[in-house]
């Protein structure tokens, strides 16, 4: 049943749609007492690479900057990130990770060597943001660091020493070097990536070649003291199922805790990414169609993993996902800077709902990327900062972190375009540790409101304690530095909850989350 769930995503609503009299109505049945899986908070993770203005300008401005900062990191960004409770942050790449030599990024900043960032615009990387700066930032944000080590151009020794430098508490060359650089106590680092996209920018390896290398590198990533590494293997590109199968077959259980998967959504394809703004309704439809392909990918990769790991000891780690469009006109093509519209908020809602529905295998995910790159949640320009529509989804959805997933049965109509159909709504629900139930609804239809009838079985005598909405004038609406609140999180009025049944009109092109307590 589980294996087929992903394919059913599209099929279920389509099949049932014929029983629903009008597209503008939907019935959702929530079983509040039947949850078994926990939604790992780590699927709400983020990613910041040395790419464009993600780190430099976006996060790091240096202690001497006129932009208000804490130890060199912008205060406005820190405040915004704390608000959404980011559970983990992946760094330093991406493709950059397999060219990064961590020793260049420690010690006095003025003495750190410079390098060329060959992947991303050929700009000079001065290494002023390195291991200490990153781990101190994670402490400030109260988030778990997720470090991606260099397998592509680095040695086993180099990766091994990085782990020792960060996590060893005793007397050793690397621990002593860390102390010389001002950090007495080790940091705790759990999530450790062994290379990135090693089928491509991370070394152009074959799956068997990578698996063999993984075993060597992972062997020397040691657990020091009470630090326990959670080792993540560089996984497949999109639908490369052979890669998944080869790694699952050739890496012994216990050596690999997670297997990464990367999937980006284009408005059309890699060679025709489309624009971040000014798209038409057909492009909107195609983008969402591409986004929900995630469900099939998770289903099929999980099915392979199930064959080799029925106990689900290896987690599927979607450590790069999000929308990838053409860069904003006039910006450096290597910097991947794009705007972010209500379409992206809807895409994020759909994707997070899909992750929830795969909570048994998908336990970590990282949207790409946090600031100023691809589907960013934050954009900056000099001292200005703006929160994107996608940011507000992470804010709205934080209530689902570590909550128990509740089964949801959705009977809805479709949003049709190009002679194709997508289910018009997507729903997810969870119960948190205090018993509060949160129901999140996404209406992808840009024109039609949908009347929702939602019996919440087994919920007891609850009341609506909060309702929030994200919407905008149209799906192309976005926030700018001059108009930062065109798409924002707002109170939602109009829902009623009587006799265990929730009723409300879900506005066109919106995301709504309702809390019952
Ligand atoms: O996120 C941008 C790039 O996309 C990453 O560096 C790489 O891993 C992926 O191809």
Give yes or no: 197 in active site: yes
C-beta 516 within 6 A of ligand 1:
no
Pocket test for ligand 1, best of 46, 90, 94, 234 (most atoms within 8 A of CB): 94
Report residue 485 as tokens: 């609140």
Task: Report which secondary-structure segment, H or E, holds 250.
Answer: helix 241-250
C-beta 323 within 6 A of ligand 1:
no
Please list, residue by residue across 237-257, b when 16 or more beta carbons sit within 10 angstroms of its beta carbon and e when fewer do.
Answer: eeeeeebbbbbbebbeeeebb
**Dist. CA 94–CA 320, nearest whole Å:** 8
Note the pLDDT tens digit of each residue in 148-195: 999 999 999 999 999 999 999 999 999 999 999 999 999 999 999 999
Instruction: Give, using CA atoms, the residue closest to atom 6 of ligand 1.
Output: 94
Within 10 A of 480 (CB to CB), how many other CB atoms are there? Answer: 12
**Dist. CA 15–CA 32, nearest whole Å:** 25
Which is the closest atom of ligand 1 to the Cα of 369? Answer: 1
C-beta 52 within 6 A of ligand 1:
no
Report residue 484 as tokens: 């930062």
Exactly one of 144, 164, 197, 283 is catalytic; name it: 197
Residues of the chain with pLDDT under 50: 1-23
C-beta 368 within 6 A of ligand 1:
yes
Pocket test for ligand 1, best of 365, 368, 375 (most atoms within 8 A of CB): 368
**Dist. CA 79–CA 498, nearest whole Å:** 38
Which is the closest atom of ligand 1 to the Cα of 196? Answer: 8
Which is the closest atom of ligand 1 to the Cα of 47? Answer: 1
Q: What is the 3-state secondary structure (H, E, C) of 100-117?
A: CCHHHHCCCHHHCCCEEE
Q: State residue 11's pLDDT score.
A: 42
Exactly one of 49, 125, 283, 320 is catalytic; name it: 320
Give yes or no: 180 in active site: no
Instruction: Give, using CA atoms, the residue closest to atom 3 of ligand 1.
Output: 94
| CA-to-CA dists, residue 168 to 154, 156, 179, 264, angstroms | 21, 17, 11, 36
C-beta 256 within 6 A of ligand 1:
no
Task: Report which secondary-structure segment, H or E, holds 233.
Answer: strand 230-233
Model pTM greater than 0.85? yes
Q: How is 114-161 classified by DSSP, letter by letter?
A: PEEETTTTTEEE---S-HHHHHHHHHHHT-EEEEEE--SSS-HHHHHH
Instruction: Give, using CA atoms, the residue closest to atom 5 of ligand 1.
Output: 94
Distance 95 CA to ligand 1 centre (A): 6
C-beta 117 within 6 A of ligand 1:
no
Distance 94 CA to ligand 1 centre (A): 5
Pocket test for ligand 1, best of 93, 198, 371 (most atoms within 8 A of CB): 93
Which is the closest atom of ligand 1 to the Cα of 264? Answer: 4
Distance 64 CA to ligand 1 centre (A): 31
Which is the closest atom of ligand 1 to the Cα of 119? Answer: 6
Q: Which of 154, 156, 110 is nearest to 130 (CA)?
A: 110
C-beta 87 within 6 A of ligand 1:
no
Helix axes of 342-357 and 281-291: crossing angle, nearest 10 degrees: 20
Q: State residue 461's pLDDT score.
A: 86
Q: State residue 12's pLDDT score.
A: 41
Q: State residue 259's pLDDT score.
A: 98
Pocket test for ligand 1, best of 50, 54, 100, 197 (most atoms within 8 A of CB): 197
C-beta 196 within 6 A of ligand 1:
yes
User: Given 3-state DSSP classes, what are the helix, strand and coil percentages for the chain, each rounded to the nearest 5?
Assistant: 30, 30, 45
């Amino acid at each position: 049943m589980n294996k087929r769930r992903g394919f059913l995503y599209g099929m279920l609503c389509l099949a049932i749609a014929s029983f629903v009299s009008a597209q503008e109505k939907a019935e959702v049945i929530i079983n509040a007492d039947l949850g078994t899986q926990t939604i790992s908070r780590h699927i709400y993770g983020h990613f910041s690479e040395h790419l464009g203005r993600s780190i430099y300008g976006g996060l790091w401005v240096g202690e001497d900057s006129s932009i208000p900062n804490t130890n060199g990191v912008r205060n406005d960004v820190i405040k915004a990130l704390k608000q959404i409770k980011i559970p983990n942050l992946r760094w330093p790449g991406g493709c950059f990770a397999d060219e990064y030599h961590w020793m260049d990024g420690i010690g006095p900043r003025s003495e750190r060597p410079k390098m060329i960032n060959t992947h991303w615009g050929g700009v000079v990387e001065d290494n002023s943001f390195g291991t200490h700066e990153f781990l101190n930032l994670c402490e400030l944000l109260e988030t778990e660091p997720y470090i991606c080590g260099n397998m592509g151009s680095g040695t086993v020794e180099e990766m091994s020493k990085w782990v020792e430098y960060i996590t060893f508490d005793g007397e050793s060359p690397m621990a002593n070097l860390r102390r010389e650089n001002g950090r007495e106590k080790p940091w705790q680092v759990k999530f450790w990536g062994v290379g990135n996209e090693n089928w491509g920018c991370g070394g152009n390896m074959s799956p068997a070649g990578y698996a063999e290398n993984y075993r060597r590198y992972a062997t020397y990533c040691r657990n020091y003291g009470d630090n326990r590494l959670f080792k993540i293997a560089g996984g497949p590109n999109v639908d490369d199922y052979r890669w998944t199968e080869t790694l699952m077959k050739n890496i012994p259980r216990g050596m690999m805790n997670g297997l990464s998967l990367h999937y980006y959504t284009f408005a059309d394809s890699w060679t025709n990414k489309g624009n971040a703004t000014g798209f038409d309704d057909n492009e909107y439809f195609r983008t969402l169609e591409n986004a929900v392909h995630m469900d099939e990918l998770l289903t099929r990769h999980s099915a392979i993993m199930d064959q080799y790991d029925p106990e689900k000891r290896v987690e599927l780690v979607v450590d790069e996902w999000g929308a990838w469009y053409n860069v904003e006109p006039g910006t450096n093509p290597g910097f991947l800077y794009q705007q972010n519209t209500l379409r992206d908020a809807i895409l994020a809602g759909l994707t997070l709902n899909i992750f929830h529905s795969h909570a048994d295998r998908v336990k970590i995910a990282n949207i790409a990327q946090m600031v100023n790159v691809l589907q960013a949640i934050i954009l900056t320009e000099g001292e200005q900062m703006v929160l994107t529509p996608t940011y507000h989804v992470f804010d709205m959805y934080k209530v689902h972190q570590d909550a128990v997933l509740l089964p949801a049965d959705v009977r809805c109509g479709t949003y049709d375009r190009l002679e194709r159909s997508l289910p018009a709504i997507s729903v997810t629900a969870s119960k948190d540790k205090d018993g509060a139930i949160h129901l999140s609804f996404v209406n992808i239809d840009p024109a039609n409101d949908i009347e929702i009838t939602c019996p919440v079985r087994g919920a007891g005598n609850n009341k609506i304690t909060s309702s929030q909405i994200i919407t905008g004038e149209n799906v192309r609406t976005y926030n700018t530095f001059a108009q930062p609140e065109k798409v924002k999180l707002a109170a939602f009025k109009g829902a009623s909850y009587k006799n265990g049944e929730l009723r409300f009109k879900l506005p066109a092109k919106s995301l709504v989350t309702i809390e019952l307590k």
